Amino acid sequence: MSFHDQQILPAIRNMKQFDIFLDSPFLYGVLLDIHLGRLGGVISAARARGKNMFVHVDLIQGIKHDEYGAEFICQEMKPAGILSTRSSVIAKAKQKKVYAIQRMFLIDTSAMDKSIELVKKHRPDFIEVLPGVVPELIREVKEKTGIPIFAGGFIRSENDVKNALAAGASAVTTSDTELWKKYWI
């Protein structure tokens, strides 16, 4: 299973990557590391090319990373979705009817169990599991939550992508533009 026929969700860290994304056949991408002052223009440029952007709220400079910041982004910028580690931001994204993607760092069993509790409470549309190179954990999180998974972090090869997808991930997020090109639809 893939996300809207995309196995890769390009994770965009700079304008050079954004230009590559705009020229790609991908319809969805993830904005990382962007200043609030550029966010609206970037989303508008993507929309003009038929692209849909997810915005990682925790990585936007110039705005507080809370539910109020998420509300502002949803209302003013109208992204396709919001990524965050914060449950209050996920709840606001769901309220504003955009995709809510809960980022989950799997650093140890305790962190995973706590994150799963929060996910079950707030029911995001997707979970981004980091690191995305541990197929057993992708499988476990998906089984325990029943929520589709995006795998991200340390995705460095086609084999990493294949393993994450085989473990049940709906898509893989990566900022490696060479990997993007191998999965153009």
With respect to residue 3, please indicate whether it lies within any of the assigned structural domains: no
Split into its structural domains, the chain has a count of 1
Tens of pLDDT, residue by residue over 144-177, are 999 999 999 999 999 999 999 999 999 999 999 9
Q: Is the pTM of this model over 0.75?
A: yes
With respect to residue 150, please indicate whether it lies within any of the assigned structural domains: yes
With respect to residue 1, please indicate whether it lies within any of the assigned structural domains: no
With respect to residue 26, please indicate whether it lies within any of the assigned structural domains: yes
CATH, residue 101 = 3.20.20.70
CB contact set of 19 (below 8 Å; sequence gap of 6+)? none
Average pLDDT over residues 97-113: 97
What does the alpha-carbon distance between residue 122 and residue 166 come to, in Å, rounded to a whole number?
26
Q: Which domain holds residue 104?
A: 8-182
With respect to residue 2, please indicate whether it lies within any of the assigned structural domains: no
Looking at residue 2, what is its pLDDT?
81
With respect to residue 120, please indicate whether it lies within any of the assigned structural domains: yes
With respect to residue 86, please indicate whether it lies within any of the assigned structural domains: yes
The pairs formed by 136-141 with CB atoms below 8 angstroms and a separation of 24 or more are: 136/167, 137/106, 137/112, 138/164, 138/167, 138/168, 138/169, 139/167, 139/168, 140/112, 141/104, 141/106, 141/112, 141/116
Structure tokens at 22: 């705009």
**Residues 16, 20, 25: CA angle, nearest 5 degrees:** 160
The helix or strand, by DSSP H or E, that contains position 172, with its residue range, turns out to be: strand 169-174
Instruction: Please state which of the ranges 1-10, 23-32, 139-148 shows the lowest mean pLDDT.
Output: 1-10
